[in-house]
Structures are given as C-alpha cells and as structure tokens.
Structure 1
Amino acid sequence: MSAAGRQQHPVMAGVLVFFGATRFAKALTIAVVATAFLSHFLRSTIGWPGLVAIVCALVAFAALSFAGRWKQLDWHGLLPISLLIFLAWCTLTIFWSSYVPSSLNGIAYLLAYAFLGVYVAVVRDLIQIVRAVGDVLRVVITLSLALEVLSGVLLDVPLRFLGITGALASGGPIQGVLGSRNMVGFVALIALVTFAVELATRSVRRGVGVYSVIIAAGAAVLSGSPVTAGVALVTAVAAGVLLLLRRAAPETRRTWHVALLAVAVAAALLAFLLRGRILDLLSTRREFTYRLEIWRELGRLIDLNPIEGWGWVGYWRSNVSPFFALDVVGGRAHTSALNAFVDVYFQAGLIGFAVFTVFALLAFGRAWVVASSRKSIVFLWTALVLVVLLATSMAESIVLVEYGWLLLVICSVKAARDLSWRRRLRPADEPPPEPRHERMETP
C-alpha cells in the first residue's frame, strides 16, 4: 500500500485530534472523578443500568482520548506490574467462581475503573489531578450538606432513597450523597488532604480554599464515624512525619526511612502478639463487634477455598450463594466484608491477598519516598491519600470499588512512573517524550 493509502482518513484524523485535545482530557477527568464519587447518588436515582451506561461511555471516551494522544505518552515503566498481576488474577477467578455472571460483572466493573484510573494518571499532571478531585469534592460535600439541611432541618423527614436519615438537627450522623457515615468521613478526609494541598500550592483562591477546608472538616465531624476519627489521627501523624522528613538532610533520609520501617514492623509485630487483648478492648464497641462477627463467618468460608478464593465479585450480590447467607450476620444486608484485605482474601484467595498486599505496599512505599524527597508540596497528596485509603481499608472495603479503587490506581501509577526500575530499560537511541512538568493552573 502506498504512503498516501496509509494516511488516516480526514474524518478519523479530526476525531482523534478532538478526543486527544487537552481541554477534552481535562473535562473527561472531571467527569470520571465525579462519576466515581457520585456513584451511590447515581445508583439511587437512575439505577445500576444508568450508572453502568455512564461508566461504559467514559471508558469509550478515554480509549479515544488515548488514541488521540498515543504518540505523546511515555509507556516505559508506566503501569505497576503488581497492579497488572492483581487484575489478571481477579480475572482468572472466573474459571472457578460459583457465581460466574456476578463475577463477570464485578470484574468488568473493576477493569473499567482501573482503565479510567490509568487514563487520569497518564494524561494529567499531579497538580491537575488534585485540582480535578478538589473541584469534584467541593460539589459532593456541598451537595451532601445541602441535602442534610433539607432533610434534617427544613423538612424533618429522611430521604430514604438516598439513605439520608435526617439526623442533622441532633448533631448527626450524616450520610449525604455517599450512602453511609463512614463513607462521608472517608471522603471528607480525602477532601481535607486535597484542599490543604490546594491551599499550600496556591492553586485556588484563598477564600475558596478556606471554605473547602471548613465544609470538609464539618462533614468529617458530623459523620460521627469512629473509623474516621482513627484514620484522621493516623493521617495527621503521617503528615507530620513527612514534613519532618522533607526538612531532613538528603543524605540522612535513607537512614530515617529504615528507622521508620523498623518501627512500623515492630509495632505490627507487637499488635499481632497482643491481638487477643486488643480484640477484647475493641469488642466493647458495638460497631467493631458487628465487624468481628462478619470476619468470623468469612473465616469459615475462606477455609473452604483458601488458595484460590470464591471468585471476584466486587460489591457483594445478596441474591447468590454464599453472600445471601451472610446477610443474617448483624441483622442487616452487607455489600462488603468491611475490610478490604479480608474481602480480597475471601474473593481472590491467598494468592490474590498476597498480590494485592504487595501492590498496596509498593504503591505506598514509592509515594512515601517521592513525597519525602521531591521539592514540590504537591507530592504529599499521593502519599497522604494512600494513607487514608489503606488505613480505612482496615474497616471498609471501598478501596476495592469505585472512587476508592480509582484513587488507589491513580496514586499507584503516579508513584510507579517516578520510581519504576523499568524506565531504565528504554533503548539508548530512543529519545524520551517531552517532559511534562507539574504545572500550576490559574485559579
């Protein structure tokens, strides 16, 4: 075929130019983040079919945008191998799943959000991602508080289709458009990290930044979530340590990292040795007792398929075995194991659990090293968001679906691009793409 014949059709070339444009990537990023964080609201209003249709459209648009920007992207060391292995293993569980249709749906949902997370991480700089998440969370939290005022103060009736109990007048807890108080607290902490980075980098007007911090802090308090209180403490300690590390002399940082790792391992070992006493102390709290009952029931099911798991499903399906049997625990329906690592162990077995743990720890380790050594304060966002995600994973499974999974993929890809050993495999005669600097956007 001649060179002229190999040229793209004018219409196709125009389509790729449109979808590959920076303005389209910016708009699509906001749409992806908004869909993820408003997923409960969308399910409650237009149902699963409507939400799935939106996600499919976003995946199609992201694929076209990738095609339009293909030659501009640097693919060396882009995707964490541990992420690819985890996705591959979850896909393989279809072959022994006893609920194949549900597994197919769950894996497709997992892969769709993973693809969207990779898209956002690749086509947008980190400060642009922070701005997109910040813009979306300002709307999500403001909308949540507005609906709580409407339900709990103005109308004094619950909005049951959204899960809002209307308890604002009595001090909470609130559910907003996120479905539960723990999710409100979780999103509020992500928002606080995001808004603090926006203020520190002066990427939004001061008035907007102050308003954002106030509503996020208010939402966290009104959530009344004990999980949020614990995660907030862990995040505050991590932020303080990172700020101290950033001030340390570069030649001493490695020593400090090793010391911190030793302390963390020692603390984990001590917690394991004292697990009985810790469980006795926590069992006095009703919320923990409820979780403990679920984990004990799952332990019995895990023993039946310990290596390969029962099959990936993501959100639990109450209409298939063995999930409907778990609904008797605590007297309420369940959509997860209320612990991401237990959930992975149950659905993907010991192999999936090991791969997911390595994936999460590698992402966190890379992000931590980058945040402590890079000059720009924006790199703190990746590390602190991962702290919130992983700490919350001890009591919720949101990190495996929708906005939790999207953020985990974005952070892992961003961290891997900075520290991946595979970047050294670039051929010596292959010039790297134009560098993409972390740019400030005009407020």
Structure 2
Amino acid sequence: MTGLIPLAGGRGPAGLLASAAMASAYTHAALGAVFAGYVIERLSGRVTYLTIIVGLCIVGAAILAARRRELSALRLAPTTLIVFLLWLLASVSWSQDAAGTIAAWLGMTGLAFIAVVIGHVRDTLQTARALGDVMRVLLTVSLAVEIVSGILLDMPLHFIGVEGNIAQLGPIEGIFGTRNSLGFVAVLALITFLVEYRTLSVRPGVSLYSAVLAGSLAALSDSPTVLVLAVAVATATGALAVVRHTPAARRLSVQWAFGAALALGLVVAYLGRHTIIAWIGAARDFSTRSDLWAQIVVFVRARPIQGWGWTGAWTDDFPFGTINYILREGHLSALNAYFDVLLQVGWVGLVLFAVFAGLAFVRSWVVAGERRSIVYAWTPLILVALLVDSVFESFTLSGYGWLMLALCALRAGQSRSWRERIDEASAGTDLPPAVDLPDGSRGGAG
C-alpha cells in the first residue's frame, strides 16, 4: 500500500501539495471560483477570472505531480472526454475563427483538467460536501444581494446583472447573471443538500436552512426550466430508489423496464410538447428557442459532418452573427447544448458528446444501483439535471456546467471502467478492488 498512499505526512512542498488539507482547500477554491465566475468577471474583468483558472490549473498540476505514485495514466481521464476535446481542437482547421477556436478549446480543457484534479484528490462524498459548502455561500450571497437591491435600495444593480425584483417575488438572478442560471444552480444545490442530509454530513439545522434557501431561490427565479428539472430529478430519484431496493437477481430486468419507460416518456413528451409548454407557462421562451433552432438547422445542412468550428460562446463571426441578424436577436448560444454542438462541430461532434455524456450517466446509474451508500446517487442525479437542462440551455458546454459534467464523467469512470480491469489484471487478480481512502485518494491491498 506504500505506493498508493499520498505523502500526506511528508515534509516540504511535496508533502503539503499531497496533503488532505491541500486537496480540500483546492476543491473548495476551484468550485467557488468557477461557480462565481459570472460575478467575478462583472466585478474584476475577464482577465481576472482567466488568471484564476490558469492559477488553479498550475496548482492542480503540482498536486497531481506530488501524488503521482498513487495515480495511473490509464485512469487519469475518461477516453470519451479526451476524444471529444480532440475533435473540438481538430475543428480549428475548418473554423471561421481559428484563434477563437483555440481560445475556447483552452478554456474547456482547463476546466476539464481542474475536474480531473478534483476527481483524483477527493472522493464522491468529499466532492459533494465541498460543493454543498460552496453552494450555501453563493446562494446566501445571492439572496443578500437581491434583498439589498430589491428591498433596501429598491433599485437594480446592473453592474452585476441584478434587476431587483425580489419584492415582486421574482424573477431574480442572484449573482449568476440570469434567472435560468440561478434556477439551474439551485437545482444542483438541492441535489447536493439532499445527499448531505441522507449521509448525515452536516447538522440538521444546516440541512434545513440549505434546502429552504435553495428551494426558495429556485422558486423566485421564476425559470420555466426549474419545474422541468425538478420533475426530471424527482422521477430519477424515485426510479433509482426502486432499483436500489430491488434484489440483485431482478435488478437488470428493472433497469431495462425503466429504460423502456424513459424512451416512451420522451416520445410522449415530444408529441405533447405544446400542452406541456403551455402548462409550465413557457410558450414565449419556447417560441424564441423554436425560431432559433429552426434557423440553426438551415446552417447545419451546409456543413452537417464537421460543423462550422468550435467557438463555445457565440461571436459576431459567421454563422453566429448571421443567425442573430436574421432573427434580430443577440443570442450568445443556441439555448440548447446539443444544437450548439451540432452547429459548431457537426454530427461527428454530437455523437461524440452523446457517447461521452451518455456513457457517464449509464456508468454512474449502474454504480448507484449496486452500491449501498446513498452518496453514489449524487453523480447520476447531477447528470440528470445537466443533461435535461441541456435541452433548454448550453450551460453544460462552459463554466460550472462543463466542470460538473467532466467531474461526473470522471467519477463514473473511476467506479466502472475497462481501465479498472486492466489495473487489477496488472496488479494481480488476488487483490481487492480499489477503495476511497479518508483523504480522498484511491488505495487497495498491499
């Protein structure tokens, strides 16, 4: 076991970098910086935010170097993540803005690297706890800012994107820029707070405050996507509970039954989409999206295989500027992660993205159904929120959305991957599988 335990007790810089305290501090700092990215940019500028991300990448590389004896090159990052990022980089050869493509690719790769670092220095419960701590602070700050803006000052704070509508019970934006962003973050927080409560990770009073805070902000955001996300996550939670309580001999049949029910539900939802949209009061938002998606399809037909080149957030260059000009709008994304991938890197990119996200979800779902601890439910439920929200927004392709997607994919791959079988075979078949150590590292028998 000597080569698998980090040098937490060592002296000097290497010992500090490999310590559990450094891993905890790094995880909190990284999650806090990325989730607060919007307000950091509005207050200090984009250069400040990018400097923070670069600094986190440098420190993360140093941490991995200090822990190199406990790492396996085969298990460092999911293959599907690497292949998807390589395809994005390849699009520089046909992009309308090569420099913009490289810059966007570096941004996504940097966040993915931070996710890799977190995934290797923290286990699932420690990651969820760190995210819970960060969410409590950021959501509390959001509520405080809204109260100051909408009640105490009774004026908008445009420099951080707050309209000050809390006295009218919303919509509010908090420190996340838009009501949809706040609603999405609040749902991620609710999932995390639920896991904290079930694992007794925090005091009951803290759990109650956290849940009320996140639920209140989700409601005050008045985001039409929040209700859809809440229903999707609640349904997934119920289905996962059934799977977890099903005897192992019948579990596979139940999984297939739920898979068929999901496929049927998607068909019914599509056929009844107009009724559902009217019910949740999102007719205007959907009309905007429908017009945008129809126009995107026109440009996809011109380059269906490779797309127009990766840029992440939309720029004024062709075809994004042209689409906005035709629609007389100023969209910064396709308002749908799947359409964004299709437009920018074509059907090849969309297939790679679907395999990357879908495989992560399937792996994490199977693990959550087999493992006894409720903490394993955190990863698939977060992925449900990410993938469902991707139908209405492109959050999963940048910032905290992409960080969480990469982190969940890494976490799922660590628990169920062909790499694990190769590692076990090379180490000897008599060794038990790797386990999460208290300081967040992975260890086995020695």
**Structures share fold, TM-score greater than 0.5:** yes
8 Å contact from structure 1 (residues 20, 64) kept in 2 = no
Q: Which residue of 2 aligns with 1:287?
A: 285
Per the alignment, in what secondary structure is the counterpart of residue 96 of structure 2? coil
8 Å contact from structure 2 (residues 424, 433) kept in 1 = no
Q: Which residue of 2 aligns with 1:139?
A: 137
Matches within 5 A, 1:24-103: 24-103=22-101
Matches within 5 A, 1:5-404: 14-270=12-268, 274=271, 278=273, 282=277, 285-318=283-316, 320-328=317-325, 331-404=328-401
Superimposed CA distance per residue, residues 11-52 of structure 1 (whole angstroms, 9 cap, x where no aligned partner): xx9333322222111111111101110011011111111111
Q: Distance between the aligned counterparts of 1:384 and 1:82, measured in 2? A: 20
Unaligned runs of 5+ in 2: 1-10, 441-446
Distance 1:281 1:72, change over 3 A: closer
TM-score normalized by structure 1?
A: 0.91
Q: Which amino acid aligns with 2:409?
A: S
| Root mean square deviation, CA, Å | 2.1
Q: Which amino acid aligns with 1:387?
A: V
Q: Which amino acid aligns with 1:59?
A: C
8 Å contact from structure 2 (residues 122, 439) kept in 1 = no
Distance 1:248 1:434, change over 3 A: closer
8 Å contact from structure 1 (residues 73, 433) kept in 2 = no
Q: Which residue of 2 aligns with 1:9?
A: none
Q: Which residue of 1 aligns with 2:427?
A: 430
8 Å contact from structure 2 (residues 76, 116) kept in 1 = no
Q: Distance between the aligned counterparts of 1:230 and 1:307, measured in 2? A: 31
Q: Which amino acid aligns with 2:340?
A: D
Q: Which residue of 1 aligns with 2:3?
A: none
Per the alignment, in what secondary structure is the counterpart of residue 156 of structure 1? coil
8 Å contact from structure 2 (residues 195, 374) kept in 1 = yes
Distance 1:330 1:214, change over 3 A: farther
Greater Cα shift, 43-52 or 328-337: 328-337
Superimposed CA distance per residue, residues 145-186 of structure 1 (whole angstroms, 9 cap, x where no aligned partner): 100001100111111111111111001000010010011110
- Deviation for aligned residue 1:269: 4.4
Superimposed CA distance per residue, residues 104-162 of structure 1 (whole angstroms, 9 cap, x where no aligned partner): 11000010001001111111011100011000000110001100001100111111111
Q: Which residue of 2 aligns with 1:4?
A: none
Q: Distance between the aligned counterparts of 2:295 and 2:118, measured in 1? A: 38
Superimposed CA distance per residue, residues 400-427 of structure 1 (whole angstroms, 9 cap, x where no aligned partner): 1111111111111111111102222237
Distance 1:77 1:24, change over 3 A: closer
Q: Which amino acid aligns with 1:278?
A: R
- Deviation for aligned residue 1:63: 0.3
Distance 1:439 1:16, change over 3 A: closer
8 Å contact from structure 1 (residues 164, 175) kept in 2 = yes
Distance 1:224 1:427, change over 3 A: closer
Q: Distance between the aligned counterparts of 2:64 and 2:139, measured in 1? A: 31
8 Å contact from structure 1 (residues 199, 206) kept in 2 = yes
Per the alignment, in what secondary structure is the counterpart of residue 309 of structure 1? coil
- Deviation for aligned residue 1:209: 1.0
Q: Distance between the aligned counterparts of 1:239 and 1:331, measured in 2? A: 41
Q: Which amino acid aligns with 1:79?
A: A
Q: Which residue of 2 aligns with 1:413?
A: 410
- Deviation for aligned residue 1:77: 4.0
Per the alignment, in what secondary structure is the counterpart of residue 79 of structure 1? coil
Q: Which amino acid aligns with 2:228?
A: G
- Deviation for aligned residue 1:435: 4.2
Q: Distance between the aligned counterparts of 1:93 and 1:221, measured in 2? A: 40
Per the alignment, in what secondary structure is the counterpart of residue 427 of structure 2? coil
8 Å contact from structure 1 (residues 142, 215) kept in 2 = yes
8 Å contact from structure 1 (residues 152, 168) kept in 2 = yes
Aligned length: 425
- Deviation for aligned residue 1:260: 1.1
Q: Distance between the aligned counterparts of 1:227 and 1:105, measured in 2? A: 30
Q: Which amino acid aligns with 1:63?
A: A
Q: Distance between the aligned counterparts of 2:238 and 2:230, measured in 1? A: 12
